[in-house]
Amino acid sequence: MSPFPVTLSRHILEEGQRRADIAGELSTLIAQLGFTAKTLAREMRRAALIGELGLVGEKNATGDAQKKLDVYSNETVVDAFSATGLVAAIASEELEEIQHIKCKGEGRYVLCTDPLDGSSNTDINGALGTIFGFYRRKKRDCDATPDEVLRPGSELVLAGYVLYSTSTMLVYTAGHGVHGFTLDADIGEFLLSHRDMRCPKRGKSFSANVGHVRDWPQGIQDYVGYVTQIDKASGRPYSHRYSGALVGDVHRILLEGGIYFYPQDSGHKDGKLRLVYECAPLGFVAEQAGGSATSNGERVMDLAPKAVHHRCPLAIGSAEDVALFDRFIAGKGAPPSD
């Protein structure tokens, strides 16, 4: 008989007893993430039935066409974390400026979020995600300043994502490994399904929008040429997997190994992805799972954002795959041993 499942609440309680930094405020934030994820999952499940698909006709803060579900997701995340009294400010893909929260208590955290990742998948019933990252503030008032949000990912205390797919999963790290929970919709509970997730050192697939291949730097074109060469001994060719939703693609890679990358191209001079609420939180998760995340060869977690919607190239996944990708970017190609 399988052991009695560990619910998200029991996990939080047990982690809180084991680790002083998880007790209290972080536990409250993780619990609220669970509740928010369930609320968003319910809306996504029924969106096609209640007229919640399609565009609102506006562009969001970063110039992307805004979907109705983008707006709903953003409002839900903002309301949910405002209600905790623990969050002083929120940086969101859907908000032009940092939103300051009238906090009831001490507002000890700032939240960086992409409330609905992969919104082009909404109308085709594809995978979607929510990305979150929390920084602890040094001050204890309600007036968060921009420098408290624009911090390197290495200062994150809690980060992760929700994946809405055949099932809904909540994956988080608070700096002690990565844990994944699957929603049992019948009992309305997130249950621990992936304890201490580890990303394999090397994988067999790559994930990128290869439609842009001729527009990529030569090193990356060479890398694609390399991983698609046939060489059974070194596990090539790699398979290509790409869903158009970062969370879904990164989740696959965390579990199975491989690499996701979104480089700069002529339409995205600095890359497309956003450092503050996409690359840094996922970089924290990847590193905690034993993988890595770089941006043109630099560790993503070390990058200091220049603005809320700062974009950067990203390579994320298995440590050896990312290192190999970075060798190609640096013009070194594959090592003789590969």
Which positions are catalytic? 64, 70, 93-94, 114, 116-117, 278
Stretches 83-91, 178-186, 239-247, 329-337: which one binds ligand AFP (CB under 6 A)? 239-247
Q: Which of 117, 148, 189, 321 binds ligand AFP (CB under 6 A)?
A: 117
When asked if residue 273 is in the footprint of ligand AFP (CB under 6 A), the reply is yes
Stretches 35-43, 97-105, 117-125, 143-151: which one binds ligand AFP (CB under 6 A)? 117-125
# residues contacting ligand AFP (CB under 6 A): 12
Q: Min. distance of Cβ 194 from ligand AFP in angstroms?
A: 21
Site string for ligand AFP, 187-226 (x = CB under 6 A): ----------------------x-----------------
Stretches 51-59, 76-84, 112-120, 196-204: which one binds ligand AFP (CB under 6 A)? 112-120
Q: Which of 21, 52, 64, 106 binds ligand AFP (CB under 6 A)?
A: 64
Give whichever of 109 and 260 is closer to ligand AFP, judged by the CB atom.
260
**Omega within 30 of 0 (cis) for the link into 237:** yes
For residue 178, give Cα distances in angstroms to 81, 143, 254, 277, 285. Answer: 22, 31, 10, 18, 7
Nearest CA among 146, 332, 129, 307 for reference residue 226: 332
Q: Which residues pair with 114 in a beta bridge?
A: 131
The residues, any chain, with a CB within 8 Å of residue 2's CB and separated by 6 or more, are none
End-to-end CA distance of the chain: 44
When asked if residue 272 is in the footprint of ligand AFP (CB under 6 A), the reply is yes
- Which 278-307 positions form the footprint of ligand AFP (CB under 6 A)? none
Q: Min. distance of Cβ 258 from ligand AFP in angstroms?
A: 14
Q: Which of 6, 15, 40, 93 binds ligand AFP (CB under 6 A)?
A: 93
What are φ and ψ of residue 303, in 5° steps?
Answer: -75, 135
Q: Min. distance of Cβ 219 from ligand AFP in angstroms?
A: 20
Give whichever of 59 and 306 is closer to ligand AFP, judged by the CB atom.
59
Distance CA 7, CA 40 (A): 19
Q: How far is CA 332 from the centre of its chain?
A: 29
Residue bearing tokens 């319910």: 42
Give whichever of 114 and 189 is closer to ligand AFP, judged by the CB atom.
114
Q: Which residues bind ligand AFP (CB under 6 A)?
A: 64, 93, 114, 117-119, 209, 244-246, 272-273
